[in-house]
Amino acid sequence: MRELSGIVADLIAEKYGSDEFIRRISDPFWFHSLSIATGFDWNSSGTTTTTLSALKEYFRGSTDSGIFVAGGKGEVMASVSEDFEKQVKRGHLRETDSIEIRRRAKELARVDNNLLQDGYDLYLHFIVVNDRGNWAVVQQGMNGKERMARRYHWHRDSFGDRLRDGRSGISAETAHESVRDISALKSEENRKGMVDMMRDDPWRYRDHITQGGQTTLDNHELDARKLRLDVRVDWNRLRQIYEMQPRNFIELMDVKGAGKSAMRAISYLSQVVYGSDPSWIDPVKFSFGLGGKDGIPKPVNYRDYDVCIEFYRELLGNLREGDSRLSAIAENLNRRYGKITGNFL
């Protein structure tokens, strides 16, 4: 996987530019196709970890395309800064770009983890970057109760729309009927109410809001649209946020301690006090080449694997030497495949 996925990435970067490879990585459907084509499971949560780790390892020793991968799973998520610092020292990335990309990636992690209340907690965070300062973020969350994962994709160009449905997409097995999505465009009024709540002491509403035998905010099985939620929230934490007086929603989102439960509580209070509902729509939006490592739908064919690697390695070498004959063969294969199936790669 390391060799084949890396060569495919180099080919795309060589023919279309590394910016195009970054754009494709931000597409959840293309990303999944890459994983499947290089031999991984079609529906496994390990798809993200294995594919991006393979690319990370490949580009660790290759700088021709100017691409590198930072981050990882679990404790390795903390290696993002170290990964970026290495690239800066090697002269592959400017220090200013490094700082800005890491800041934006952290903010997108807060959007997916704290604002999208879909029941999934982030445990994996990757950033794919090139030496031009272009980047894509791929991160994954796990629902411990359902033992299911979701993968979230972002591209640099959509960062400005992070609170206006700016994701490139979400890869998931199922869509849930009722998801509080504070990051959606439809939640704009709810977000304004959240900022107003934190600028107007929320303790004023404490006694009024907590009347009635309601359950808890963490009970996602209830129909939240009927407001059958308890506001048994950490009022002291909300008071601390209030004392910081955030001027806008971005400042509110960045406040230390404004995590998943706090944001849910503030969104709920905004809904009750100001009547501004958030979005309740789950924003959630593949084929085999060489088989899967678990034998589904067929065992991996190692001979075909080696033939693919050798063919594309030779194609890459020819492209770099200015010989486009193999490239023409590859494009002709695509055209023939398209005529047969109606799908063009």
**Residue 17 clears pLDDT 70, i.e. is over it:** yes
Tell me the torsion sign for CA atoms 303, 305, 309, 312.
Answer: positive
Res 41: pLDDT: 63
**Residue-by-residue DSSP string for 39-62:** T--SS-THHHHHHHHHHHHHHHS-
Q: 314 — phi, psi (to 5°)? A: -65, -40
Closest CA to 280 of 239, 322, 327, 225: 225
The mean pLDDT value for 133-149 works out to 92
Question: Worst-scoring range by mean pLDDT, 161-175, 186-200, 217-231, 318-332?
Answer: 217-231
pTM of the model: 0.77
What are the pLDDT digits (tens) for 306-341?
Answer: 888 888 888 888 888 877 777 777 777 666 655 554
Alpha carbon separation from 87 to 66, 80, 116, 328 (Å, rounded)? 10, 11, 32, 35
Token pair in block for residue 157: 């160009």
Res 221: pLDDT: 45
Please check whether residue 334 is in contact with residue 328, taking contact to mean a CB–CB distance below 8 angstroms: no
Question: Worst-scoring range by mean pLDDT, 67-71, 228-232, 314-318?
Answer: 228-232
The mean pLDDT value for 245-251 works out to 93
Question: Worst-scoring range by mean pLDDT, 152-161, 260-269, 308-317?
Answer: 308-317
Please check whether residue 200 is in contact with residue 132, taking contact to mean a CB–CB distance below 8 angstroms: no
The mean pLDDT value for 249-261 works out to 91
Q: What is the mean pLDDT of the chain?
A: 83
Res 268: pLDDT: 87
Please check whether residue 5 is in contact with residue 51, taking contact to mean a CB–CB distance below 8 angstroms: yes
| Domain ranges, ordered by start, for the chain | 2-176, 185-274, 302-341
